[in-house]
Amino acid sequence: MRKRRQKGSDDINGKKIIVFLICLGNISISFNTGAVAAAIPLISQDLGLPDFLVSKLVPFYMIPYGLGALLYALLTKRFSYRRVLSSSFFLFAIFSLITAVSAQLQNMLLAQIGAGITAACSTPLSLMVIGDLFDKDVRGRLVGTYFGCSFFASMVGMLFMGIVPWRWLFFIPAILGLITSASLYLLKIDSLRRVHSASVNYMKLFSDTSIRKVFTLIFLMSALYHAVHKWYGLYLYREYGLPKETISFFLIVAAICGLAGQNIGGYLSDKKGRQVTCFAGGLILAIGTMSLWGHYPLALVPIILGVIAMGWTVSHNSISTILTDFPDDDRPMVASLNSSVRFVSGGLGFSLSTFFVEKSFGMTFLAIGFLFLLLSFLQNSFIGTKA
């Protein structure tokens, strides 16, 4: 009896450590994802290059991230979660360090390709672990906690953007990545030593109509959101003439609202259902995005950004929770595709929006807001009525 109690206690402690480590890894890769885009004016001034040229840092990270995410379901067939996570975070730290010390944009872009591919391990493997080790009725909250760490890290990154040189936006992820890698390697948690034995066939997965429709919605939502969110720094700099300290403060407010939305979304997904939560988040997102069409007193701008962040995270959490509900054998592929589709579409959405935002930020955001609204009312065509 004592041994059984001890084993149960060890399992609980092991799960707590796992949650902590996957959240720490998420913090390391999320620290600069928002801050780098917001720091484009600073980086362009330092390198002496046009800001729209420097903005290539965003898709050069996001698209390789999305493509790299497809590797991890395949890797978990041959290697344990622990080995894949530890190795990937180590390489992520190296590529982040290279970016931090580079003096040429070309070298930074190449390093960001490597950073994107290796950072892509975090979300698919974390969702796989949550789905494998935890009961369905708590997964929504764990997903909310995990993605909430993204917004916590983003918030801290925004703070640092306003008070330290921009190169620290890459030094700090390198340090955190090394800590995560070493912890995963040294702690040797039994639950993370497993491999996934099911077959990996993405084409077969897409033959499932329900899965294909969910990922179509994810692709569209992510492309539109990143065509707005990733331009915040340049938008505030050009449209309002704000210094980096004020931009940093505004984006911290948005990150706090995003963090709250992530946890609200997790709770509502578990208690009220995935579909209701997704619609509510999409509606809030649409209204907030359309509001960016106008030019407002400065006090209103961070409120609008916060509304957008909350709408996105509520919707994002509900859809991510739907993905953890798919059958166990499909979960590694679904988790990998989730990250892949979100980042590839986000990078493409950002790149394609460049032409439009160069002409008008306001009109571009207004049009995207209407598209969000349309998707919200059409969501039943993508996620059904039983989610």
Q: What is the pLDDT along the chain (387 residues), one digit of tens a residue?
A: 444 444 444 466 677 788 889 899 999 999 998 889 889 999 999 999 999 999 999 999 999 999 988 888 788 878 888 899 999 999 999 999 999 999 999 999 999 999 999 999 888 888 778 877 777 777 777 887 887 788 788 888 888 988 899 999 999 999 999 999 999 888 877 777 777 666 667 777 778 888 888 889 999 999 999 999 999 999 999 999 999 899 989 988 988 888 788 778 877 877 777 788 888 899 999 999 999 999 999 999 999 999 999 999 898 888 877 777 777 667 667 777 877 898 999 999 999 999 999 999 999 999 999 999 999 999 888 876 545
What span, in angstroms and rounded, lies between the C-alpha atoms of 88 and 106?
Answer: 23
Contacts of 334 (CB under 8 A, 6+ apart): 127, 205, 211, 323, 326
Q: Three-state DSSP class for 325? A: coil
Q: What distances in angstroms separate CA 354 from CA 39, 87, 351, one per listed residue?
A: 16, 35, 5
Instruction: Give the pLDDT of residue 146.
Output: 86
Place of tokens 């909430």: 148
Buried (b) or exposed (e) across 317-328, using 16+ Cβ within 10 A?
bbbbbbbbebee
Domain that includes residue 238, residue range: 2-383
Q: Is the dihedral of CA 348, 280, 138, 145 positive or negative?
A: positive
User: Per the structure, how many domains does the chain have?
Assistant: 1
Instruction: Give the pLDDT of residue 57.
Output: 95
CATH code for the domain of 305: 1.20.1250.20
Instruction: Give the pLDDT of residue 7.
Output: 47
- Tokens representing 233 are 């720094």
On whether the CB atoms of residues 75 and 124 are closer than 8 A, the answer is no
Question: Which spans in 189-273 are helix H?
Answer: 202-206, 209-229, 232-240, 244-271
Q: What distances in angstroms separate CA 101 from CA 3, 35, 39, 111, 362, one per listed residue?
A: 52, 17, 16, 11, 36
On whether the CB atoms of residues 52 and 150 are closer than 8 A, the answer is no
- Tokens representing 36 are 């780098």
Q: Three-state DSSP class for 185? A: helix
What span, in angstroms and rounded, lies between the C-alpha atoms of 381 and 275?
Answer: 11
Instruction: Give the pLDDT of residue 133.
Output: 74
CA 270 to chain centre: 21
Long-range pairs of 184-188 with CB within 8 A, sequence gap ≥ 24: 184/21, 184/25, 184/82, 184/85, 184/86, 184/89, 185/82, 185/86, 187/17, 187/21, 188/82
- Which amino acid would we find at residue 43? I
